[in-house]
Amino acid sequence: MKVGGQDTRAAWWSDEGVRYLDQRVLPGRVAIGLARTVEEVARAIETMAVRGAPLIGVVAAYGLALAARRGEAAEAAYARLARTRPTAVNLWKGLDAVQAAGPGAQARLAAARAFDDAEVAAAEAIGRHGLALFRRGTRVLTHCNAGWLAVQDWGTALAPVYQAARAGLEPFVWVSETRPRLQGARLTAWELGEEGVAHTLIADGAAAHLIQRGRVDLVLTGADRIAANGDAANKIGTYSRALAAQAHGVPFFIAAPRTTIDPATLTGADIVIEERDPDEVLTVEGLDEAGKPARVRVAPAGTPALNPAFDVTPGALIAGIITEIGIVPATAEGIAGAMSGAERTESATPRTASGSPS
């Protein structure tokens, strides 16, 4: 996808180590980070310099390849990377893909690159399958950032949006800000602007209002882990959007590659929910009038805060899961079919877009 008109991936291998777009400083500036050691890769994931479940898997895979090149102990490197983010199952999928390649540095790097390329291909296929949900002027509500910053080259939830835009369907995107880290405001709005896709930023609390007033045709988000029964964990606030969508007859879809599916997790109740530093809730980071990074406190000193990073949307609220092999039901049978690898030819019937986005 585009940064300043140039095709760019969110992370890539280099002779010096793992390079990545530092998402902590977007949209104020575009900065390229470099992780030369496993510890630096782990810190990039933990601090959300890189984020998004599929991208975490890719960067972790490169981290394990980096350990082999540097002669670091494979077991220790695997363990360090595996404990960076507990909710995103793609992390373990990337690590396991490289681990299975054997101990050689070249074999591990080849496995990491293959895993990276497979995620890019999956995202492109998700976009093609999700395009069936779009008509001219479809108004999409999305949450958090599930574009190419999170998933390499296309994204998941935004992949169909980008394909619709390139097909001349002129989609419109409502971008919820996504407190407390503001991934929607900082990252999704930036991505859509770079790609020239029409969008408007909204406060998180405005999402249900727009759904109720008939100004949303489709709710589309990514996922960090999908259980065997179709329950899906995604950024905190996703569940409330699914509830509002169901209440007003608006289809709610998840878009995710099969690496996000965890058959060993039976239901959403079994998904470990990461809890992050309460200070993320108590403060806001942004740019001051001079364009310099600034951090301000938004609550009285001493105020306690709780900061769960994800919530779980039951499969019963999900109209379908858009995968690289097609749109599958968010049920145990649908998940089993998705993991069998069979290409699906049937498509969902979307609600028709109507009216203008404003």
Does this model's pTM top 0.85? My answer is: yes
Question: Mean per-residue pLDDT for 19-27?
Answer: 92
Predicted local distance difference test score (pLDDT) of residue 267: 98
The catalytic position among 224, 231, 262, 311 is 224
Answer whether residue 358 shows pLDDT above 50.
Answer: no
Q: Is 234 annotated as a binding residue?
A: yes
Q: What are the beta bridge partners of residue 11?
A: 20
Q: How confident is the model at residue 285 (pLDDT cuts 50, 70, 90)?
A: confident
Q: How confident is the model at residue 89 (pLDDT cuts 50, 70, 90)?
A: confident
Question: Mean per-residue pLDDT for 57-80?
Answer: 95
What proportion of the chain, given as a percentage, has pLDDT over 70?
A: 94
Q: Is 186 annotated as a binding residue?
A: no
Q: Is 307 annotated as a binding residue?
A: no
Q: Is 167 annotated as a binding residue?
A: no
Answer whether residue 208 shows pLDDT above 80.
Answer: yes
CATH class label, 130-340: alpha beta
Identity of residue 295: R
Place of tokens 């390079």: 19
Domain regions of the chain by residue span: 2-122, 130-340
Q: What are the beta bridge partners of residue 293?
A: 287
Q: Is 52 annotated as a binding residue?
A: yes
Answer whether residue 29 shows pLDDT above 90.
Answer: no
Q: How confident is the model at residue 353 (pLDDT cuts 50, 70, 90)?
A: very low
Predicted local distance difference test score (pLDDT) of residue 5: 64
pLDDT tens for residues 177-197?
Answer: 999 999 999 999 999 999 999
Least confident among 20-34, 240-254, 269-283, 333-347: 333-347
Q: What is the 3-state secondary structure (H, E, C) of 209-223?
A: HHHHCCCCCEEEECC
Task: Convert 234-258 to b/e letters by CB count within 10 Å (16 or more is b).
Answer: bbbbbbbbbbbbbeeebbbbbbbbb
What proportion of the chain, given as a percentage, has pLDDT over 90?
A: 81
Q: Is 53 annotated as a binding residue?
A: yes
Answer whether residue 304 shows pLDDT above 80.
Answer: yes
Place of tokens 């929607």: 184
Answer whether residue 77 shows pLDDT above 60.
Answer: yes
Predicted local distance difference test score (pLDDT) of residue 351: 35
Question: Mean per-residue pLDDT for 267-286?
Answer: 95
Q: How confident is the model at residue 288 (pLDDT cuts 50, 70, 90)?
A: confident
CATH architecture of the domain 2-122 equals Up-down Bundle (1.20)
Answer whether residue 155 shows pLDDT above 80.
Answer: yes
pLDDT tens for residues 115-144?
Answer: 999 999 999 999 999 999 999 999 999 999
Answer whether residue 220 shows pLDDT above 50.
Answer: yes
Distance CA 113, CA 97 (A): 10
Predicted local distance difference test score (pLDDT) of residue 169: 98
> Contact at 8 Å (CB) between 218 and 253?
yes
Predicted local distance difference test score (pLDDT) of residue 2: 58
Predicted local distance difference test score (pLDDT) of residue 152: 83
Answer whether residue 76 shows pLDDT above 80.
Answer: yes
Question: Mean per-residue pLDDT for 312-325?
Answer: 98
Mean pLDDT in the chain? 92
Q: Which residue has the higher pLDDT, 6 or 324?
A: 324
Whole-number Cα distances in Å, 166 to 96, 140, 160, 169, 237: 35, 16, 10, 8, 29
Q: How confident is the model at residue 348 (pLDDT cuts 50, 70, 90)?
A: very low
Question: Mean per-residue pLDDT for 16-28?
Answer: 92
Distance CA 300, CA 25 (A): 26
Identity of residue 107: A
- Residue 277 annotated in active site: no
Predicted local distance difference test score (pLDDT) of residue 356: 39
Q: How confident is the model at residue 9 (pLDDT cuts 50, 70, 90)?
A: confident
In the numeric block, which tokens belong to residue 65?
Answer: 């390849």
Q: Is 17 annotated as a binding residue?
A: no
Whole-number Cα distances in Å, 226 to 90, 95, 331: 10, 18, 10
Residues 6+ apart with CB under 8 A from 71: none
